[in-house]
Each structure stands twice: as structure tokens, then as C-alpha cells.
Structure 1
Amino acid sequence: MISYFRSILPSRLVLLVLLFLAIRVPLILLGQPATSQELISMLVGERLTNGFQMYAEVYDNTAPLAALFYWMIDIVTGRSVIAYRLVATMLLLLQAFFFNTTLNRHQVYAEKNYLPALIYLILGSITYEFDMLTPLLIGNTFIILSLPYIITISREGLDNSRLFVGGFMFGLAALSYLPLLLFLLAGTFAVIFFASNTFRSFLLMVCGFVFPYAMLMTYYLYAGSLDEFIVLHLLRSWLYQTTLLLSPADLVKVLALPALLWLLSVFSMMSLPQRLVFQVKFQQLMWVWMAVGLLVAFTQASVSAGAFVLILPAIAYFSEFFFTGGLKKWILNTVFFAVLAGVVILRYRDVSGINRFLQINDAKLLASANPVPAIRNTTVLVLGNDLSYYTNNKPATPYLNWQLAQRHFGNLNEYWALFEIQENFRKESPAYIVDKAGLMEELKYKLPTVFASYEETETAAVYKKRR
């Protein structure tokens, strides 16, 4: 089986796609419940489709390019978990093929093959978290697109634009998920390894990175929401309060297989003879790539298995050394089928009932059902972190992210905060307010013209607007 993918004939590519879809698509079509991240993404897309401007009228720290993706999907399909996961599947497929094409075109290995793409796609299906269209997954696409531009051996006066394009791709990645700007470190090492004029090349890459931000900030300046863009995107994304959505033990269970394959690949690589200078430099870059990917993964606000999509390229790169390292074919095929079986078991652990043995608890990832079934197909504002009320309802007012809403609701003793709340409710008022933060009494006292029209219902902490 492994020897079949050590060729670049078109038939290998077709089988690779079919194998990936056979692993991936059935779980998507089975209609697995939406996750909290997917619910937030759909809410952002829905608000943008309804004509509200990001950051000025939607208080959320979703990066602008990721928000653009969600807006376009919502225009076509509305709230559709399947649509989001199919788009994520296509992005992962494109990432694998572009990464593999880059390796083959630049002769990173002794022979051209599809093994990196094979491992990338199989390990990229190990958990349904990789099915989620997260800002991280979107940004990772641009990180991989930057690779052929930053590994070009540049000479003075020649191919200068390539480093600019590489930096531009890093900028688009950061506009998808801001912490991905840390991959400028990988770009810096690439300049050191490959470029002839290090400082000048570095400046070219930085200029390319800044360019998309300059264009976007100009747009927000003329739209009158530059301050909101800076506060909600550039600043808030670095206020980390890291929480583990999967316990350390569960993370080990999910990631043990990729880690084991990576270790086997590194040991195999060490036993191989010396390679060409370019190949050695690329290998060094992949070590930096893995280190930066782990840094970004562990500095997320919420850490789970899906964050490790960033190190898939590095694992796929190193795995080629194991599967071409000279071991007997039956050993290589045994390891490959063991990896494939492990991925299928982990991916389908819930629908097959195997999870009662693995005991991987991913409840924190899933979006809760609407706790009040009577409140459906209406507008709701939740004063708190409970997004479950939005499952069957639309958000009203800009206060989608409760942490960001603290700019106003956390400063109710300030006149400017009360004025901003009143202005936002004047433009758009929800049919229901769910007061998880216990603020309604104070709000009714300080802003009676806005909140006096809301009366308590039979459900605790739920207020309904009188007609």
C-alpha cells in the first residue's frame, strides 16, 4: 500500500482523494452535533449577512478574514453545520496537496511521491475537531501557501517579489487568526537559511506582512470603526486566559498516534545518509515550523486537539523518512494500516460506541441545546457566557461575546458605557433577555427607558419585552 503512493501518477492522486473522503465524509453526513466554536462562527456569519458591520456592530474577536469566510457561507447556506464541515474538508484537502506539491517541486526528498499528503490527510481526520471551520484552520491554509515563497534561494535583484508575497500570506494568516503572526519567526529563519541578503529580505517579508493590514485599517478608518478594530481584534486576541477543552489525559489519547509516528520518523531520519544542502536547510525550517506551531497551539484561549492542525505539515514532512527508510515492506505496511485503523477508531469512537472504553470527554466542545424550548425563532440577548439560547434563535444587539461586552456592562457606573448600551438598544432590541449575570435590576434602574419594558417570565432569569 505504501509503495503505491511512492509515485506521482494521477491514479495515486485519485485513490488518495477517495481514501480521504471515505474516512472523512461519513461522519459529517451522520449529522454530528455542532460545537460551540461552530455556533459562534454561524452567529457571526448571520449577523454580517443581516447587514451589521464587524467590530462596530458585532462585538466579537473573530478575525476579519475568518469572518468573511463565515459571511460568504451564510449567504449561500445559512446556518448549516454540514456546509461548514464540507468547506473545512476542502481546505484540508487543498492544504495537503499544496504542501505535497511544494515538497515535490523543490525536490525536498530524493524522490517525488504523495506520502506527505497521504499522512497529512489521514492524521487530519483523526478527530472531528479537524472538521471544524475554525479561524485557525483558515489561517493555516495561508501559512502553507507562504511556504514556496519563503524557501526560494533569492539573489540580489532577482525574485525579490517572492519574499513580499510570502510575507503577504503571513499577513492573510494573521487576518484569519491573529496569533498566527508568530509564524513570522519561521519566516525569519527561512530568510536566514535561504536568502543571500538577510536584512533586506527580512524587510521585504515584513512589508508584505504589513500590506494587508494597512489596506484593511484604511477601510476601517473610512468606515469609522478603526478604534473598534484595534480594540477587538488587535488587542483582545492577546489577552489569553487559557482553558483546556480536553483534559491532558484526553489530549494524550487523541494525539498519541501522531506523536508516535513522528518519533519513529525522526529516528529513521537520523539513520539516513547526509542529504543536499537545500534539503538540510528545509529540514531545519521544519523543526522551527513545529516549534512555532506548538507555541501557537498552547497559547490559544481554548486548547484542544484541533489546535494541533498547525503541526500536521511538519509531521507529514518527517513521516516520509520513515516510510522510505529502507525497512521491509511488510513492516511499513503494518505500521501504515495500524495508523489508519487508529485514526478510524478515534474518529468514529462516539458513533461506534468505542468511546465507553476510551472515555474521551469532549462535552466542553459541544454546543448545548436551547434550555428553553418555548423560546424559538426569535431574537435573544444573553447577559453571560451561555450561548445555548442562540441555538434556535438570532442574537440581537452587538453583544455577542460576553467578555468583550464587559467594556459596557462591566462599567455601569460610567456615563459613557450607559450611553453606548442605550444607543445599541435604540438601534436593535431583543425580544428576550437572558440575565445570567444578574444585571437586570441595575439596568432597569439606570436605563429605565430601555429596560423597563422587559418583564420577568416563568423561567428564572429570562425577561420578555412587552408589546
Structure 2
Amino acid sequence: MLVLSSIYLFVLEVPLLQPEMTWMLIGENMSEGKIMYKDILDDTGPFSAWVYWILVFVFGKNIWIFKLFAGAILFLQMVYLNSLFISYKSFEEITYIPAFVLMILVHLSFDILILSPALMGSTFIIFALGQLFSQTVLQKEGKDSVLLVGIFGGIAACFHFPLVFFLPYMLLVGIIISGFSFTQLLLSIIGYFLPILICSVYYFWQDALPEFITEYILTSRTLEIYKHVRFRDLMLLLVTPLFFSFMGLFTGSVFKSLTVNQQKQLQLMLIFLFFSASAFFLTNRIAPYQLVIMLPALTYLISMLFLSVKKGMFLRITSISFSLLIPIIGYSWLFWKTQNQTMDTYGVYYQNKHKITEGKTTLVLGNDLAYYQNAKQVTPYLNYHLTKELLTDFNNLENVVMAFKHFQQFSPQVIVDEEGLFEELLEHLPILKEQYRKSGNYFLLDTNNTKE
């Protein structure tokens, strides 16, 4: 894992990504006492935001701490998923092949290795799958594991909203495969909504409950999304692991006789693969790191391939091909994107033009977050697409008044106006127009005309 990851980090030199910059800015703002959704306009999950806050508060804005923490989470997923398959006899023998398969799969793309909300939330999805396995395999009537299924699923949704797909998945497999009684079904639903209720109560205390609902729960795919990569790129990355997964499904069904419990596990994972793919339709950022949600199911199916055929040339060819092809595809894709300069909407590239904000309080009304590299982000307007929706709604007098208060309170020294959003706002707020002078795509604070 260290060797394969080092190629991304030190040979191909993966840039700081736009989402990573956003997450560090969230942590920095929260460490200053600001409240998510109320003082920080973004749709990052509350639990993810708290993790970023703790890391920045303890270690500062250090991207390497984020990467080390992500590596530790990935290692935890490998260990837990492998032990899960061993404990519930998913395969005939005790083996570390699932951990190896997952280790290869996480190098399908360089951004799977970052500390994304999808990565943190998927960890609890795996924990929830473990509780579903215990229900399916052991056929317990105990209510503790049923409650934990819901709680882990709810925690995952509080990390990353697209993981809400686990709720219909839990209900479907609970009824059809695990045979949940009405009481168990009710317990799992209560457990699912418990973490969300806790978050709602917290933001109610902080006078930010409406913002939590509108900015996190209701924003999924209602806004213009961040298309960091194209869907074609995602399919290009997915085609090889899906090919090996279908081979695993075929060989595992033809060359092996599965027990009743193993058949139920296979059904669990196949349905999970379908539902996890549906999460892409709920995300506001199209990026390869969202693929981490599908990896548990892919790991299970590909492990079936290697454990169904134990010897012979076919096994050697497939194992070597899988071990080499997946990382090479990831490396080649990154190299190709970098050489063709198609990473500009995804990476943070500091250039001479960004020096205008160095050491100054800054607001970026656009997608180029490199302006924040050596600057201080101010005002709540962090997520540009949410900001654009608010600042262009001139019929809503409350939004206009709040915008005026924010600009008066923070008075950013430099405003980067990539699409003319601030210039249009100034026509409705002539007092602000007196305080700023335009220079290209920038608005610079005129301290001589600034009103206290």
C-alpha cells in the first residue's frame, strides 16, 4: 500500500485538490468558532466538518495530516472487511485475499486516497454491512445488531449525504434477505434517524437548524454540480474492476457450490453494488473519490474470482493482470489528465495571478480556490454554487440584507469575481460600490472610502 501510494504522491506529484482546499478552509473557520451552515456556506456533512475542525485545530492546515488520516481509515477498512468475511465464512478458507483486493482497488484513482466525506462515511457503511452479515449468517433474533445497522447507516449519512442510499437498501435487504420482523424493522429505522436527529438538535441550539436542512439535506442535486471530471472518466476507471467483478460472479457461481448463508451474502453484495452506484445521482461533486462507496461490493466479487479457481494458468494470469492493471490505469489516467491540462477544475495550481491575494482577507466568487492558498478566507460564502444561488436572488430581500451585513462585517480586501456576480450585486447595494474599486476580475477594498 505504501509503495503504490508513494507513486501517486512523490512520482506523479498529485496536486492539492479543490475539495481538499474547501475541507481545510472549513476546518480553519470552525477552529475560529464559526458554526457550519450558519457561518460557513457549504454542503459538507456535519460529522465530516467536525473531523476537519479537529484536525486543523490540533495540527493546523497540514495536508499531509489529512492524507495520513485517510491512509489509516483505508487500512482500517481493509482489516475490518477481511475479518468480516473470515468471521462469517464468506469463503471456504481463512484468507487475506479480500484485504489485498481492496488494497489494489483503492489505487484505482489518486483521490480515493484523500480524506473525503465519502471515505469517512463509507467506513460506517462497512460497519453496518457487518451487522447485516451477523443477521443473515447467524439469524439472530437479538435487537442490538439490528439497531446498530440503522445507527451506522445514519452516521454515514451525517458524513456524506449521498450515503442516504443505505436507508432504502437496509429496508429492502432487511425484509427480503434478513427477514426482519416488524419490531426489528422499526428499530433499524429509529437507529438510522437517531444521528440525524442529534445533528438537528445541535444546530437548533446554534440557531442554525433551517440552514442545516436547506444547505445539507435539501441541496443534493438541486444546484449546479461541481463537475471535476466527466462521467466518461468515471466509466473508464470503473470498467476494469467491473469486468473482474463479473468474472468473479461467474466463476463463483459455476465452479463453487455456495452454502445458503453464502448465497445470502452474495445477494447482499449484489444489491449493495446497485444501490451504491445510485449514490452518484445524489452527489454535488462528480469526482472519482465517490467510487470508494462501491469498493466493498467489488472487493467481495473479485475475491470470489481468486478463491473459486485455486490453481492453474488462469489464476496466475488473472491475479497478475488485476494487480497490475488497476494501479496502472489509475497512474495513466492521472498522467493523461495532467499532460492535457484537464485538471484545472479539480486541482489547485498556484500561479502568478494568485499573488494578488497573498496575505490578505479574500473572497473568491468562482471555482479557482488557489486564491486562498496564501490568503485568509472570509465571509460565509465558501461554496460558490450555493453562494451564487443566494446572491443572485434579488427578489429575496432577506438574502440581500444578509449579504450587505456580511460584506460590511468582514470587508474582504480582495474579491475575486470570475463571473461578474459581485459586480451585479453592487448595482443593488450602492453603499458597497463606494467601498470597492474594480481591477480586471478583482474588486479591491478602498480603505479611504470604507465606512465603519
Same fold (TM over 0.5): yes
1:275 to 255, 258, 275: 258
Q: CA deviation at 1:417?
A: 2.2
Q: Report the equivalent of 2:100.
A: 118
Q: CA deviation at 1:381?
A: 1.1
Report whether the alignment pairs 1:28 with 2:21. no
Change (3 A) 1:441 1:316: closer
The 2-side partners of 1:225 and 1:439 are apart by 26
2:241 to 246, 258, 261: 258
Structure-to-structure mapping, 1:245-394, within 5 angstroms: 245-349=228-332, 355=336, 361-370=342-351, 371-394=353-376
Q: CA deviation at 1:356?
A: 8.9
Change (3 A) 1:287 1:395: same
The 1-side partners of 2:311 and 2:427 are apart by 78
The 2-side partners of 1:152 and 1:360 are apart by 48
Structure-to-structure mapping, 1:147-158, within 5 angstroms: 147-153=129-135, 158=141
Deviates more, 1:144-153 or 1:46-55: 144-153
Gaps of 5+ in 1: 1-19
Indicate if the aligned counterparts of 2:220 and 2:283 stay in contact, CA closer than 8 A.
Answer: no
Indicate if the aligned counterparts of 1:165 and 1:205 stay in contact, CA closer than 8 A.
Answer: yes
Q: Report the equivalent of 2:77.
A: 95
Indicate if the aligned counterparts of 2:345 and 2:367 stay in contact, CA closer than 8 A.
Answer: no
Q: CA deviation at 1:366?
A: 1.5
In the superposition, the TM-score normalised over structure 2's length comes to 0.90
Change (3 A) 1:343 1:156: closer
The 2-side partners of 1:238 and 1:91 are apart by 28
The 2-side partners of 1:197 and 1:126 are apart by 36
The 2-side partners of 1:360 and 1:449 are apart by 41
Corresponding letter in the other structure for 1:366:
G
Indicate if the aligned counterparts of 1:129 and 1:305 stay in contact, CA closer than 8 A.
Answer: yes
Corresponding letter in the other structure for 2:18:
S
Fraction of identical pairs, as percent: 26
Matched residues, number: 445
Q: Report the equivalent of 2:405.
A: 423
Report whether the alignment pairs 1:461 with 2:437. no
The 2-side partners of 1:346 and 1:377 are apart by 40
Change (3 A) 1:101 1:232: same
Q: CA deviation at 1:109?
A: 1.5
Q: Report the equivalent of 1:62.
A: 44
Change (3 A) 1:259 1:374: same
Change (3 A) 1:148 1:253: closer
Change (3 A) 1:53 1:242: closer
The 1-side partners of 2:158 and 2:385 are apart by 21
Q: Report the equivalent of 1:138.
A: 120
Report whether the alignment pairs 1:53 with 2:35. yes
RMSD, aligned α-carbons: 2.7
The 2-side partners of 1:262 and 1:280 are apart by 16
The 1-side partners of 2:41 and 2:174 are apart by 38
Change (3 A) 1:105 1:379: same
Give secondary structure in 2 for the equivalent of 1:300: coil
Give secondary structure in 2 for the equivalent of 1:278: helix
Q: CA deviation at 1:394?
A: 2.0
Q: CA deviation at 1:241?
A: 4.4
The 1-side partners of 2:426 and 2:26 are apart by 28
The 2-side partners of 1:234 and 1:461 are apart by 33
The 2-side partners of 1:359 and 1:338 are apart by 27
The 2-side partners of 1:331 and 1:408 are apart by 58
The 2-side partners of 1:46 and 1:256 are apart by 38
Give secondary structure in 1 for the equivalent of 2:345: helix
**What is the CA deviation profile of residues 198-221 of structure 1, one whole-angstrom value per residue up to 9, with x for unaligned ones?**
322111111001111111111111
Q: CA deviation at 1:465?
A: 3.7
The 2-side partners of 1:438 and 1:244 are apart by 21
Q: Report the equivalent of 1:228.
A: 211
Change (3 A) 1:360 1:406: closer
The 1-side partners of 2:384 and 2:84 are apart by 42
Change (3 A) 1:444 1:360: closer
Q: CA deviation at 1:180?
A: 0.7
Change (3 A) 1:356 1:406: closer
The 1-side partners of 2:341 and 2:316 are apart by 28
Q: CA deviation at 1:440?
A: 4.4
Give secondary structure in 2 for the equivalent of 1:373: helix
The 1-side partners of 2:4 and 2:97 are apart by 17
**What is the CA deviation profile of residues 384-441 of structure 1, one whole-angstrom value per residue up to 9, with x for unaligned ones?**
3433322322211101112222454112344322221122234322111122232445
Change (3 A) 1:453 1:342: same
Deviates more, 1:208-217 or 1:358-367: 358-367
Give secondary structure in 2 for the equivalent of 1:239: coil
Give secondary structure in 1 for the equivalent of 2:135: coil
Q: Report the equivalent of 1:127.
A: 109
Q: CA deviation at 1:267?
A: 1.7
Q: Report the equivalent of 1:73.
A: 55
The 2-side partners of 1:374 and 1:338 are apart by 49
Report whether the alignment pairs 1:163 with 2:179. no
